[in-house]
């Protein structure tokens, strides 16, 4: 299906600080929401008359909703338009924040935070990356844009515990949701400058409901299985796994992880078969199979997954260590994690310069190596009685490394596909990243309570495991340095040709 877009103005095709600002703030907002509640769990539980497990479940459902709906949400950008999807997502997110702020029980919190804010995030995040890709057409300026967005993601996740702790301690956890709703209003106002032109097709693409259900259900089972490892373990079940009064797996049996993963992979296999069948019939699937046929993009997706696994894993491990072994409160913990935030900011600000001087693969490799060095520094210098300054070198190195490669990996993945495919690859990319976050927290949590270690040894073992993943990241980035460099050059040429064609013809032709 071919559609002709209305002529694009220069403002619509060229990025500016005004265009980028709402995208950066939106990414910060969603990353903040994902981490800020962790330090307020006890306060929320007491206020709502529930327990810690109930609030943790609400946080889990938020993560699950995001991961499961990110691909369907990205597909809606091709149907509703990028800016429209962005604003609708913000509106749903803002309503969810207000519902959560006035909730009187766990149900209200779950509806507002877990469901509405999760759905809003799944709708608004894909347009952030799509718009940045199409507004910034050369590799260097695109790296600058993704650098700012990646910095917002990392800083939002890192500052969430600190800011959330300060708000909860000084006022109430409800104020945090009110402030999120206020920020949503500001972002919507700033988004008025975005001039995204949706191609006007003779027939609007049909939404692949079957594919959406299969992909969402498959990802849900995969994520839930990973999150259950903190309670039931990775190999054998640490306690009975029951639904209602029916025990499905007895203590000592196989971990529920494998049951959920098996169901999840069967559903994802059915999804893969479905989209292939729709393509062969000439229809419009939720996700085209070519999205997984680009070797360079696939390597970038793997590195994205590993980066978020490491970042969230380190944040979880260090936070738990500081609060249990050192006895620090939420605010003190957030302050000690500040070097990582500074590192992410610093390297993200240098993204454009690094894109001009280095192949993106080299930046990713260097980021993983620097991250591994940071993890080793934490292992060598930090113990239960060491000075708090011993955390600084390791956390700073991790922040610098992660900040550099987050930008480069996103740049590689998004630049590997033409403008017509940005909706689909953006959703796939965000799903992979969210999956990495879930794996990182689940993996770190299960290692910390592993029966193989005792005391603070769990902290050391978790860092060792994360270091291994950092080295896997180095190896992955090394697999395709030539391809990654050529991808960057080709993306630059394609963007330049597209810009030239647009200025010469006053419009764009797009395959739908």
Is the pLDDT higher at 91 or at 478?
91
Highest mean pLDDT: which range of 39-48, 107-116, 128-137, 457-466: 107-116
| C-alpha distances in Å from residue 331, one per residue of 30, 165, 188, 452 | 21, 5, 31, 31
Contact 406, 343 (CB under 8 A): no
Higher pLDDT, 58 or 186: 186
Torsion 413-114-344-479 (CA) sign? negative
φ, ψ at 4 (rounded to 5°): -105, 125
User: Residues 371, 401: contact at Cβ < 8 Å?
Assistant: yes
Q: What is residue 487's predicted lDDT score, i.e. its pLDDT?
A: 45
Question: In this predicted structure, what is the pLDDT of residue 436?
Answer: 84
Whether 423 has a pLDDT exceeding 90, the answer reads: no
Structural contact between residues 137 and 309, judged by C-beta atoms closer than 8 angstroms: no
Consecutive H or E run containing 4 = strand 2-4
Angle formed by the axes of helices 422-448 and 391-415, nearest 10°: 150
Contact present, 67 and 419 (Cβ < 8 Å): no
Give the mean model confidence (pLDDT) for residues 256-261: 92
CA–CA gap between residue 9 and residue 347 (Å, rounded): 33
Domain boundaries, the chain: 8-207+286-503, 208-285
pLDDT at 26: 94
**Domain 8-207+286-503 classification at class level:** mainly alpha
pLDDT for res 41: 77
User: How many CB atoms within 10 Å of residue 482?
Assistant: 11
Q: Are 397 and 371 in contact (CB under 8 A)?
A: yes
Q: Residue 201's pLDDT is what? A: 56
pLDDT digit string, tens, across residues 198-255:
655 555 667 888 999 999 899 889 888 887 887 788 888 888 898 878 888 988 899 9
Residue 345 burial class via C-beta count within 10 angstroms: exposed 0-12, middle 13-18, buried 19 and up:
buried
**Residue 25's closest CA among 149, 131, 144, 116?**
149
What's the chain's average pLDDT?
Answer: 81
CA distance 304 to 436: 8
Higher-pLDDT residue of 245 and 276 is 276
Higher pLDDT, 87 or 429: 87
The 8-class DSSP code of residue 200 comes to B
16-67 pLDDT tens trace = 567 889 999 999 998 888 778 877 777 888 889 888 778 877 887 887 888 8
Residue 388 has pLDDT above 90, yes or no: no
Residue 430, pLDDT > 90, answer no
pLDDT at 504 over 70: no
* pLDDT greater than 90 at residue 370: yes
3-class SS of residue 236: strand
Per-residue confidence (pLDDT) for residue 110, from 0 to 100:
93
DSSP-based three-state secondary structure for 248: strand
CA distance 398 to 95: 36
pLDDT digits (tens, 9 = 90+) for 95-116: 999 999 999 999 999 999 999 9
Tell me the average pLDDT across 124-141.
Answer: 83
Residue with tokens 């007491």: 46
Query: How is 315-337 classified by DSSP, letter by letter?
Result: HHHHHHHHHHTS---HHHHHHHT
Instruction: Summarize pLDDT for 467-476 with one digit per residue, the tens.
Output: 999 999 998 8
The predicted structure's pLDDT at residue 360: 76
Q: Of the candidates 467, 431, 495, which has an alpha carbon nearest to the alpha carbon of residue 75?
A: 431
Q: What percent of the chain has pLDDT over 70?
A: 86
Which positions ≥6 away from 314 have C-beta within 8 Å?
340, 375, 398, 444, 463, 466
* pLDDT at residue 506 greater than cutoff 50: no
Which of 72, 189, 186 is closest to 428 using CA atoms?
A: 72
Report the pLDDT value the prediction gives residue 480, as an integer from 0 to 100. Answer: 57
* Residue 510 β-bridge partners: 3
The distance of Cα 423 from the centroid of its chain, to the nearest Å, equals 16
pLDDT recorded at residue 467: 94
pLDDT of residue 203: 55
């Amino acid at each position: 299906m071919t559609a002709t877009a209305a002529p694009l103005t220069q403002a619509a095709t060229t990025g500016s600080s005004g265009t980028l600002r709402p995208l950066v703030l939106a990414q910060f907002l969603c990353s903040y929401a994902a981490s800020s509640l962790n330090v307020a769990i006890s306060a929320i539980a007491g206020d709502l008359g529930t327990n810690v497990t109930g609030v943790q479940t609400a946080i889990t459902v938020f993560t699950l909703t995001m991961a499961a709906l990110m691909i369907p949400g990205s597909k809606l950008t091709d149907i509703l338009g990028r800016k429209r999807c962005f604003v609708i997502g913000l509106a749903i997110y803002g309503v969810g924040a207000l519902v959560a702020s006035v909730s009187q029980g766990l149900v209200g919190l779950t509806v507002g935070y877990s469901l509405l804010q999760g759905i809003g995030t799944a709708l608004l995040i894909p347009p952030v990356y799509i718009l940045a890709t199409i507004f910034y057409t050369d590799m260097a300026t695109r790296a600058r844009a993704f650098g700012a967005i990646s910095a917002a993601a990392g800083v939002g996740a890192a500052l969430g515990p600190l800011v959330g702790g300060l708000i909860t301690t000084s006022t109430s956890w409800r104020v945090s949701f009110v402030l999120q709703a206020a920020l949503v209003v500001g972002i919507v106002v700033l988004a008025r400058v975005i001039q995204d032109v949706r191609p006007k097709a003779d027939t609007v693409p049909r939404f692949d409901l079957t594919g959406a259900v299969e992909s969402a259900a498959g990802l849900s089972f995969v994520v839930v299985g990973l999150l259950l490892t903190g309670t039931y373990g990775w190999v054998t079940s640490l306690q009975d796994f029951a639904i209602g009064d029916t025990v499905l797996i007895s203590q000592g049996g196989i971990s529920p992880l494998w049951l959920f993963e098996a169901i999840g992979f069967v559903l994802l296999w059915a999804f893969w078969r479905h989209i292939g069948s729709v393509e062969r019939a000439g229809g419009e699937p939720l996700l085209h199979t070519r999205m997984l046929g680009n070797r360079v993009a696939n390597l970038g997706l793997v590195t994205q997954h590993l980066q978020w696994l490491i970042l969230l894993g380190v944040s979880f491990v260090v936070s738990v260590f500081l609060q249990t072994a050192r006895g620090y409160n939420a605010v003190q913990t957030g302050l000690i994690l500040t070097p990582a935030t500074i590192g992410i900011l610093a390297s993200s600000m240098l993204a454009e310069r690094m894109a001009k001087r280095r192949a993106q693969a080299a930046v990713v490799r260097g980021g993983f190596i620097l991250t591994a060095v940071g993890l080793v520094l934490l292992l060598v210098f930090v113990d239960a009685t060491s000075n708090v300054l011993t955390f600084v070198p390791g956390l700073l190195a991790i922040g610098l490394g992660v900040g550099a490669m987050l930008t480069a990996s996103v740049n590689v993945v998004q630049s590997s596909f033409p403008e017509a495919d940005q909706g689909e690859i953006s959703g796939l990319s965000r799903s992979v990243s969210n999956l990495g976050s879930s794996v990182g927290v689940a993996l770190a949590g299960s290692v910390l309570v592993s029966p193989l270690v005792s005391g603070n040894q769990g902290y050391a073992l978790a860092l060792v495991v994360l270091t291994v993943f950092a080295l896997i990241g180095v190896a992955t980035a090394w697999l395709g340095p030539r391809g990654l460099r050529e991808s960057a050059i080709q993306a630059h040429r394609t963007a330049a040709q597209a810009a030239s064609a647009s200025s010469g013809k006053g419009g764009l032709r797009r395959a739908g």
